[in-house]
Amino acid sequence: MLNLGIKNTGAFRLGNKIRMGQRSKNGTRISDFLLLGPIGLIIYLLFFSFNLLFDFSTPNSHAAPLSGSATLSISVDTPSVDLDFTPTGSAAQFIESGANLTIQTDNRTGVTTYVASIDENTDLKHTDATISQKLSSISSTAAATAFSDNNWGYRITTPAPPGSDFLPIPKASAPDTIFSTPNATGSPYVVGISFGAKVAANLISGTYKKDIVFTTVTNYVPKTATFLPGPNFNFLVKKINPAYNTEKFKRASNQPANLSSTKVVSTADSDYPIYVWYEAADKTVYWWSEADVAYANEDAREMFSNLSDGHGHFNLIDVSGIDMSKTKNASYMFHSGNYLYKNIILGDFNSENVEDMSYMFASNSSSGSPTSEVDFSRFKTSNVQFMRHMFEGNFAQTLNLSSFDTSKVEDMSEMFAKTKNLTSVNLSSFNTSNVKDMKNMFRYASAVTSLDLSSFDTREVVNMRSMFAHMKALISLNISSFRTPKVTDMSGMFLNMEKVTSLDLSRFDTSKVTNMRSMFQGMAKLANLNVSSFDTRLVTDMAF
């Protein structure tokens, strides 16, 4: 706590208060300390140094509690700050001084430090109760030059740059956050806080005081669990139903009634286990964990791949509640094998660290009705490098990928190949400036009638072999932005595009192309073809 006082002359007696070890509702502990002083102006600081210990977890009936503790230490750099005030003439004076608070913790989720008045009254009052004069807190953020007479406030000087505006003194019921970190501080962290007051020359002499409380709280540490690596998880889930007629996978709202019928699918270092079990009544594999956060493994490849194990279509894969933020490999994650996943619900799918999405939503199924559209609006792809075969064979009719960030993707080969039900695909946000391979990208996407790739940057692409081959329903193709200075293979690029009537390739740079075999073969309705820019000096194959 900080006790502020203003006085003109004379000595004063130092008082102090302290509250230590107060426990909050979530089990963390709170440290408060009192800084004391007079105003004339003198601010006296008292500091009590101690460590704060707390348990990360509480016992439960399904897992051993996580053992461990965290430490918290706080200190202040000076026992007193002088703000002496001696009137000089009739003008009010602005006086400012402060202290540095040093905070250190090894709590893995960090700490938060607050400042507030000790109660709901934020005035600096005279120690003589018969004197009504006081210094009131400013009511809104203000520069020192904007203070009215007998007003006071505070500001943070570190890490904010000096000269920042002052803030009103917060009430006890609404403390201000002056420091927060989501991680352990490592080395000590210094927070500078300064108090300023504009004192009128006619202020009655004496000491004006107010207790200010600083509270540092260790942030809540969530209990976590991590799923097994994708292939290991996949093996256990497939085998949990020996009848192989599972139709759904989803999170359970409650813990399993009988733990003996479950399988643990979490890593050994999880705070709590993750259970899976099969319920025959609704043909569903459920998962559940007491952990606050259930992370997919860094290696989540094949996690939900071919869950029916070749025994039929799967009605629902709902991964709501699974945090993907630590996953790097999501290849084959939802590959449905020789059958279909009719509905995939991604929930808050945080894929911000995924690097590989190859074959992620692919399918080898040869027949089946169109699948439900997947909601990719919360999908994060900013770190993905590989999207090859990502939707190959997928049975969706519509793909809205407008939220995709593909700025780091290098391989899009066969990304939409064999999507024979696909009629609409939104690629308006695609940044293809780093893509090198686009071979077979839309090969056999045989139901698409219009394709707008006018935003594509193809200057780094080397391979465009069969890129649009067998798009037999395609009528309109916009590739006006295509620049091809590095492409070496254009064989079969427009093969069997039976309905396209006009193709303007006048901006193509073909100076490095060696293979143009079957490039325009089977374009039965092509009436206008502009290849005026073609340089074919390196081409060795123009057959068909």
Judged by average pLDDT, the poorest of 38-47, 79-88, 329-338 is 38-47
Q: pLDDT digit string (tens) for 335-358? A: 999 999 999 999 988 899 999 999
**How much is the pLDDT for 405?**
96
- What is the rounded average pLDDT of the residues 492-497? 98
**Radius of gyration of the chain measured on its C-alpha atoms:** 34
Q: pLDDT digit string (tens) for 107-156? A: 989 999 999 998 999 999 888 899 999 999 999 999 999 999 999 999 99
Q: At residue 105, does pLDDT exceed 70? A: yes
Are 416 and 439 spatial neighbours (Cβ–Cβ below 8 Å)?
no
Q: At residue 84, does pLDDT exceed 80? A: no
- What is the rounded average pLDDT of the residues 62-82? 61
**CA pair distance 423, 221, nearest whole angstrom:** 47
Q: At residue 47, does pLDDT exceed 60? A: no
> Could you write out the DSSP letters of every residue in 200-245?
-TTPPSS-EEEEEEEEEEEPP---EEEBPPHHHHHHHHHHT-TT--
Q: pLDDT digit string (tens) for 520-530? A: 999 999 999 99
Judged by average pLDDT, the poorest of 1-15, 196-210, 218-232 is 1-15
Amino acid sitting at position 69: S
Give the number of other CB atoms < 10 A from CB of residue 222. 12
Higher pLDDT, 146 or 51: 146
**CA pair distance 96, 163, nearest whole angstrom:** 12
Instruction: Look at residue 537 and give its three-state secondary structure.
Output: coil
Q: At residue 235, does pLDDT exceed 60? A: yes
**How much is the pLDDT for 356?**
99
CA-nearest of 488, 487, 451 to 468 is 451
Q: pLDDT digit string (tens) for 259-310? A: 999 999 999 999 999 999 999 999 999 999 999 999 999 999 999 999 988 8
Which uninterrupted H or E stretch holds 98?
Answer: strand 93-105
* Confidence grade of residue 74 (pLDDT, cut at 50, 70, 90): confident
**How much is the pLDDT for 168?**
98
CA-nearest of 232, 291, 223 to 56 is 223
- Residue 505's φ and ψ, nearest 5 degrees, are -115, 30
- Tell me the percentage of the chain whose pLDDT exceeds 90: 69
End-to-end CA distance of the chain: 87
**How much is the pLDDT for 186?**
80
Average pLDDT, the chain: 86
Domains with residue ranges and CATH for the chain = 2-218 (2.60.40)
Q: At residue 81, does pLDDT exceed 90? A: no
**How much is the pLDDT for 298?**
98
**CA pair distance 213, 191, nearest whole angstrom:** 15
**How much is the pLDDT for 210?**
83
Report yes or no on whether pTM surpasses 0.85: no
Q: pLDDT digit string (tens) for 446-471? A: 999 999 999 999 999 999 999 999 99
- Which distant-in-sequence residues (6+ apart) come within 8 Å of 133 by Cβ? 126, 150, 203, 204
**CA pair distance 521, 527, nearest whole angstrom:** 13
Residue 10 gets which letter from DSSP?
Answer: S
Q: At residue 53, does pLDDT exceed 60? A: no
**How much is the pLDDT for 71?**
87
**How much is the pLDDT for 3?**
47
Q: At residue 510, does pLDDT exceed 80? A: yes
Q: At residue 30, does pLDDT exceed 70? A: no
Which uninterrupted H or E stretch holds 159?
Answer: none
- What is the rounded average pLDDT of the residues 504-526? 97
**How much is the pLDDT for 520?**
98
Residues recorded for the chain? 544
Q: pLDDT digit string (tens) for 244-254? A: 999 999 999 99
* Confidence grade of residue 8 (pLDDT, cut at 50, 70, 90): very low
Beta-bridge partners for 314: 341
Judged by average pLDDT, the poorest of 174-188, 204-218, 324-338 is 204-218
- What is the rounded average pLDDT of the residues 390-418? 97
Higher pLDDT, 157 or 39: 157
